[in-house]
Structure 1
Amino acid sequence: MTSVLVDSNIFFDVMLGSDTAEWSAGKLVELGGKRPLVVNPIIWSEIGASFASPEALSRALSGLVLEKLSLSFEVAFRAGQAHRAYRRAGGLRERTLPDFLVGAHAEVEGHAVLTRDSRRYATYFPSLEIISPETHP
């Protein structure tokens, strides 16, 4: 069973009540009942910026079973390669490495990605299983 790497924008949708909050919350519940949900230090740091302490972040996500995974050097290298391709294609420096680290982590370790921003993942990691509003309405 393929695990699902949950992108930070899914957590932000649910926590902040965006237009796609209902879809994001529904997918977390649906997928969490069928497949392991995972996060990595990049995702944890992105959502952690909204909390005063690690304990507060853990409490906010306590209703979810999330496996915390590390990143390998293979993942870091693949992310660098994808980011280089992005920059050569005219990508702006404002889009830093985090999205590429998340995509590379999913690709190298065989996770699906739950995100509402599928375009960059689909472009630079075309073999990924992407679960997004566009692919799974």
Structure 2
Amino acid sequence: MTLVDTNVLLDVVTDDPHWADWSIAALEAASLEGPLLINDTVYAELAVRYERIEQLDAFLSEAGLELAPTPRAALFLAGKVFTQYRRSGARTGVLPDFFIGAHAAVGRLPLLTRDTSRYRTYFPSLTLIAPNAD
């Protein structure tokens, strides 16, 4: 199983000229390893791009994505790590990124993303599938 970050899906939805091809290839490769998952946070972030819930659900179905609820332990971890982040003086990050990272960490799921710096810093145990990932 692989948890998919919003940015990868938005690349596909918007046909991003720079990232769409990479994101499509990465999704296809990850799907060969097992189910592709999104959580409720990614679902909400994607909803911004759709007028109707049926349209979003059709995209998820077509892309072979499954909605997995965020475990309570991940919600708790997200709050704790976000607090650490804010205490460091940082103010540019948003809580949804921490929900996604904590879900992947607690579930021991690889995370397919293009936004690696915050995940590497605050969730160092994560396996990241990313451009130029280590």
TM-score, L = length of structure 2: 0.93
Is the Cα–Cα contact under 8 Å of residues 32 and 64 in structure 1 kept in the other structure?
A: no
Structure 2 counterpart of 1:31: 30
Structure 2 counterpart of 1:56: 55
Please tell me whether residue 75 in structure 1 is matched to residue 65 in structure 2. Answer: no
Please tell me whether residue 111 in structure 1 is matched to residue 109 in structure 2. Answer: yes
Moved >3 Å (runs of 4+): none
Matches within 5 A, 1:113-128: 113-128=111-126
Structure 2 counterpart of 1:95: 93
* Root-mean-square deviation over aligned CA pairs: 1.3
Is the Cα–Cα contact under 8 Å of residues 60 and 66 in structure 2 kept in the other structure?
A: no
Seq. identity, %? 38
Cα deviation code 1:57-103 (max 9, x no counterpart): 122233222221112221111001110111111110x4221000000
Secondary structure, counterpart of 1:62 in structure 2: helix
Structure 2 counterpart of 1:47: 46
Gaps spanning 5+ residues in structure 2: where? none
Larger helix share, 1 or 2: 2
Structure 2 counterpart of 1:133: 131
Gaps spanning 5+ residues in structure 1: where? none
Q: Provide the C-alpha distance between the structure 1 equivalents of 2:59 and 2:98, rounded to a whole number of angstroms.
A: 26
